[in-house]
Each structure stands twice: as C-alpha cells, then as structure tokens.
Amino acid sequence: MGAGKATTAAGANGTAADGEVVARAIDLTKTYGDKDSQVVALDHVNVEFMRGQMTAIMGPSGSGKSTLMHCMAGLDKPTGGKVIVEGLDVSAMNQRQLTKLRRDQIGFIFQSFNLVPTLTAEENILLPLQIAKRPIDRAWFDKVVDVVGLRSRLTHRPSQLSGGQQQRVACARAIMARPSVIFADEPTGNLDSHSSREVLGFLKNSVREYGQTIVMVTHDPRAASYADRVLVLADGRITQDLRHPTYDEILEVFAGEGDEVEDGPQADATSREGAE
Ligand SMILES: Nc1ncnc2c1ncn2[C@@H]1O[C@H](COP(=O)(O)OP(=O)(O)OP(=O)(O)O)[C@@H](O)[C@H]1O
C-alpha cells in the first residue's frame, strides 16, 4: 500500500480525519443463518462517511460490500451495532421511518439502472419527488440535466437510450432530491469504458460542485481512483482506508489476489481523466 504524501492511510478503523460526518457505522455486525451455518457478513465495522466526499468500497466477492451499503441505507437490518445517518439512528427505525429516511435523505444508483421503462427520461428523473409530493425545483432540474448532458434526450424512454445515458438518468434521479448521501452499487458495472467515464465524471462533478456525498461499491480500480477515499473490505472487516489513492496504489492493494478485482479491457480503458 502506498503511504505517500497524497495517500494517507488512516488505519483500518474507518475513522475519517476531518470534515462533517454524514453517516457512520458503529460496531456494525451482520450475520446470516443460524449457529451451525452462520455467515458473518459484517464483523464489528466502524466507519464514518464525510460530507462532500466520494468513497469507494472495494474488496473480494463476499467480503461484505453490499451488506455494508444496504445496512447503511436502511435496506437491511444489522444484527448488532448501529447505523447513524444525519444524526438519526437508522438501526432503531420502524418501516415507516425507514421509508421516510430513504425518500428524504438517501439516493440510490444501481448497476441495472432501475428506470421505469414506460416513462420518459424526464419523468424518471422527477418520479421520486412526485411520489414524495415534493415541489420540483425547475432551476435545479435544468442544472442537473445540463451536467449529465441529457437535455436532448428528455423525451426518450429508457429503451431509446444507451446504457450510459440510462445510467446518467439514474444519476440525475438520485441527485434531484439533493439527498444527504448517494449509495451506488457498482454503478459502472454494466457500462463500456466510455460510458463509465461519463458516469464517474458526473458523480465526481456532483461531489466537487455541489458537495454531494457518495458511497460507491466497485470492483474496478479505475472507477475507485475517482474517489477521495477507498475502503477495502475483507471477511466483513475494513482492512484498508486509503485517502486519494492513485490507480497504481489501488492495484497494489490487490496485487496477487488474482481475479478478485477487474483489470480487464473496460477497467483498462476507463481513464482517470476528470478524476482530479
Ligand atoms: N441473504 C443472505 N443470506 C445468507 N448469506 C448472505 C446473504 N446475503 C449475503 N450473504 C453472505 O454474506 C457475505 C457478504 O455478502 P455481500 O453480498 O455483502 O458481499 P459483497 O462483497 O457485496 O460480494 P460481491 O462482490 O460478490 O457482490 C457473503 O458470504 C454472502 O454469501
């Protein structure tokens, strides 16, 4: 692991050095199954996510990345410990409170875009606000649409858009409600290198320009190199916490772990341009 000037390893306890905490896990534990066949997906994880930062979560398959994100987002109940988002104890919330939290404070971007096929791009972007009966800030909508470069595609349905364009619609939808934190689960997993760069560039831009907080699970070291911080999970624990690591420093962490991290044509071609 590089420990150069730009890359500050903050130990493996996930405690960030500075800034305002948006979300934190305290002693977070998640087990599946019963005593005889128990799987420890998260093993006493302590981590803080800071406002205005993009954090990538990496690690081998089965290391607990999705479980961590789902617990942080209130989609999954922890077995032990706590999740706090914007000072609210997510782990203690009932279903109604969780629905409100996910509606008001949290944005999601999935690998499979999750757009409504019968709605236009514009309708998809505005849908969560309409469901929540929240007013639509047209000036913000215009800004977001211009940043994602979808102005000429607003009347198109998902089937009439490329994968990258569909994912940019999903990004716009997530950011439209100005959530406290966006959780992205392999947002570039289904995209070619060009579209990946577009989507990552947009996410990075929203962090830089609007102070958006993003937590993104990825297997792609190129995608992770866009992040301000890279957390590495192994066996349900945080084993590395890297600040502004370069692509090479990220690769070094996984050196010798074979096929656990993508370094194929897509990863190779996803340049870091726009990442800094
Ligand atoms: N619903 C479930 N029931 C039982 N075990 C589960 C369940 N969900 C996850 N697990 C187990 O918990 C562990 C962590 O899974 P998780 O999906 O969080 O890993 P991951 O790092 O996201 O993996 P991947 O990169 O393959 O998506 C794995 O051993 C997995 O098999």
Give the residue among 168, 180, 175 at the shortest CA–CA distance from 128: 175
Alpha carbon distance 81, 70 (integer Å) = 14
Residue 266 has pLDDT above 70, yes or no: no
Lowest average pLDDT, out of 1-10, 86-95, 173-182, goes to 1-10
Residue 268 has pLDDT above 90, yes or no: no
Structure tokens, 157: 């349905």
Q: How far is CA 175 from CA 36, 178, 212, in A?
A: 43, 5, 8
Angle between helices 138-148 and 193-210 (to 10 degrees): 140
The residue segments making up the domain with residue 82 are 21-269
Whether 96 is covered by a domain: the verdict is yes
Q: To test the ligand 1 pocket, which listed residue (35, 63, 259) has its Cβ within 8 A of the most ligand atoms?
A: 63
Whether 12 is covered by a domain: the verdict is no
Cα(153) to ligand 1 centroid in Å equals: 37
- Ligand 1 atom, smallest distance to 217 CA: 22
The answer to whether 85 touches 106, Cβ cutoff 8 Å, is yes
Residues in the chain: 276
Whether 6 is covered by a domain: the verdict is no
Q: Which residues contact 77 (CB under 8 A, 6 or more apart)?
A: 71, 91
Whether 160 is covered by a domain: the verdict is yes
- What's the chain's Rg over C-alpha atoms? 18
Residue identifier of the C-alpha nearest atom 26 of ligand 1: 61
Alpha carbon distance 158, 137 (integer Å) = 23
Alpha carbon distance 27, 7 (integer Å) = 26
Cα(16) to ligand 1 centroid in Å equals: 26
Alpha carbon distance 203, 197 (integer Å) = 10
Task: Give the binding-site residues of ligand 1, using a 6 Å CB cut-off.
Answer: 32-33, 39, 41, 59, 61-67
Alpha carbon distance 170, 186 (integer Å) = 13
Residue identifier of the C-alpha nearest atom 2 of ligand 1: 32
Quote the number of domains for the chain.
1
Q: Which amino acid is at 129?
A: L
- Ligand 1 atom, smallest distance to 66 CA: 22
Q: To test the ligand 1 pocket, which listed residue (34, 37, 66, 190) has its Cβ within 8 A of the most ligand atoms?
A: 66
Residue 8 has pLDDT above 50, yes or no: no
pLDDT the model gives residue 155: 97
Residue 263 has pLDDT above 70, yes or no: no
Residue identifier of the C-alpha nearest atom 28 of ligand 1: 62
pLDDT tens column, 36-95 = 889 999 999 999 999 999 999 999 999 999 999 999 999 999 999 999 999 999 989 999
Structure tokens, 65: 């990345």
Whether 274 is covered by a domain: the verdict is no
- What mean pLDDT, rounded, does the chain reach? 86
Whether 50 is covered by a domain: the verdict is yes
Whether 237 is covered by a domain: the verdict is yes
pLDDT tens column, 98-135 = 999 998 899 999 888 899 999 999 999 999 999 888 99
Q: Which residues contact 188 (CB under 8 A, 6 or more apart)?
A: 167, 195, 196, 199, 200, 218, 220, 223, 270
Residue identifier of the C-alpha nearest atom 5 of ligand 1: 32
Residue 187 has pLDDT above 70, yes or no: yes
Residue 267 has pLDDT above 80, yes or no: no
Residue 4 has pLDDT above 70, yes or no: no
pLDDT the model gives residue 216: 96
pLDDT the model gives residue 18: 58
Q: What is the DSSP letter of 265?
A: H
pLDDT the model gives residue 257: 66
Mean pLDDT of 187-199: 87
Phi-psi region of 86 (alpha: psi -120 to 50; beta: other; left: phi over 0): left
Whether 7 is covered by a domain: the verdict is no
Residue identifier of the C-alpha nearest atom 18 of ligand 1: 64
Residue 12 has pLDDT above 60, yes or no: no
Residue 237 has pLDDT above 80, yes or no: yes
Q: To test the ligand 1 pocket, which listed residue (36, 58, 65) has its Cβ within 8 A of the most ligand atoms?
A: 65
pLDDT the model gives residue 256: 64
CATH number for the domain including 188? 3.40.50.300
pLDDT the model gives residue 258: 55
pLDDT tens column, 126-136 = 999 998 889 99
